Copies of this chain bind each other. A is one copy, B any other.
Amino acid sequence: MKIQKVSEERDSKIILALDVSSRVKNENDVRELYKRAKSILDETEQFIAGLKVNFQLLLPLGLYGYLQEVLGAAREYGLPTIIDCKINDVEHTNKWAATHFFDAGFDALTANPFTGWDGGLKGVFDEARRRERGVILLVYMSHYGAEENYGREIVLSDGRIKPYYKFFAEKAVEWGADGVVVGATRPNVISEVRILLPKEIPIFSPGVAVQGGEIEAVFKAGTDYAILGRTVCEAKNPRETIKWYVDRVKKIL
C-alpha cells in the first residue's frame, strides 16, 4: 500500500484528517473554507503520511469542485488520500460512489462491513482491485456509542458467540481489506484486533486528543497510523502540533 512507503520515507505515522467545517451561503464561503483546508495541508504536508477527507469537507467543496484542488495538492506532495465515506449501501450505489471517488483521485475509501458482501461491499472491492485502490473497513469506531453495536455479542452460524468487532476483523482478512479502523479511544480493542490481522493489514486509529484517545496507549497497543483531525485543524499552530505528535510517536516506537 502506497501509504506504507510514504510513511517510511517521511518517518511519520500520522494521517491528517482535514476536519475544517463551516456553513456555506455562497461561492465566497466555499472558497474561504477551501483556503483554510489548503493552508493546513500546506503547513503540515511534510510531516504526514496521508490525508483523509470527510463529509464536512466533501459536501461544501464538492467532489469535482474545490476538492479537486485539495486532491491535486495532495498528489503534488506525494500524499495518499482516503475518503472517509463509510460506505454502506447496496452494490449498485456503492460501485457508483467508488467509481466517482476513484475518478476524482482518491486512493482509498472507508466502508462499513455491516453492509455484508453479496450485493453489498463485493462491488466496492471489485472496483478497488480493478483500479489498484484501497478499501479500509470499520472494525470499531471511536465514539462512546460505538459500544452499542461494534462491541455487541452476536450469534455465529455455528451457534458460537463473538463480539462484532472480532467478526469484522475476520471479514477484513477474508475480503482482503487494505486496512481497518479501530478508534483510538479503545486501546484494548486495538491490541485484540492487531492479533487477528496479518501485519499487511494496517490499523488506522482516529479519535486521538479531542475525542479522548491517548497517543502513547494507541501505539503501544499496536496501531499503525493515528488519524488527527480537529486536534490539528483547530490548533493555533497546526504545523507545530503535528510535528509534536510525529516526534512523540517516534519516541514511543
Q: Which residues of B contact A134 (CB under 8 A)?
A: none
**B64 and A63 contacting across the interface, CB-CB below 8 Å:** no
Q: Which residues of B contact A211 (CB under 8 A)?
A: 90
Interface residue ranges of A79-137 to B (CB < 8 Å): 84, 86, 88-93, 96-97, 99-101, 103-104, 112-122
Q: Which residues of B contact A75 (CB under 8 A)?
A: none
**B30 and A96 contacting across the interface, CB-CB below 8 Å:** no
Q: Which residues of B contact A23 (CB under 8 A)?
A: 99-100, 103
Q: Which residues of B contact A230 (CB under 8 A)?
A: 92
Contact with B along A136-152 (1 / 0, CB 8 A): 00000111111111101
Contact with B along A158-170 (1 / 0, CB 8 A): 0001000000000
Closest B-chain residue to A17, C-beta based? B93
**B143 and A119 contacting across the interface, CB-CB below 8 Å:** yes
Q: Check A154 for interface membership: any CB of B closer than 8 A.
A: yes
**B145 and A116 contacting across the interface, CB-CB below 8 Å:** yes
CB A17 to nearest CB in B, in angstroms, measures 10
User: Are A64 and B24 also in contact (CB < 8 A) when A93-B54, A143-B90, A154-B153 are?
Assistant: yes
Q: Which residues of B contact A114 (CB under 8 A)?
A: 112, 114, 149
Closest B-chain residue to A89, C-beta based? B86
User: Are A89 and B55 also in contact (CB < 8 A) when A62-B63, A64-B24 are?
Assistant: yes
Closest B-chain residue to A121, C-beta based? B145
**B149 and A116 contacting across the interface, CB-CB below 8 Å:** yes
Q: Check A188 for interface membership: any CB of B closer than 8 A.
A: no
Closest 5 A/B residue pairs (Cβ): A116-B145, A119-B143, A62-B62, A116-B148, A56-B96
- Interfacial residues, chain A to chain B (CB-CB below 8 A): 19, 21, 23-24, 30, 54-56, 59-60, 62-65, 84, 86, 88-93, 96-97, 99-101, 103-104, 112-122, 141-150, 152-155, 161, 206-207, 211, 230
| 10 additional A-B residue pairs with CB within 8 Å, beyond A56-B96, A116-B145 | A54-B89, A55-B93, A59-B104, A62-B64, A90-B141, A114-B149, A116-B149, A116-B150, A120-B146, A121-B145
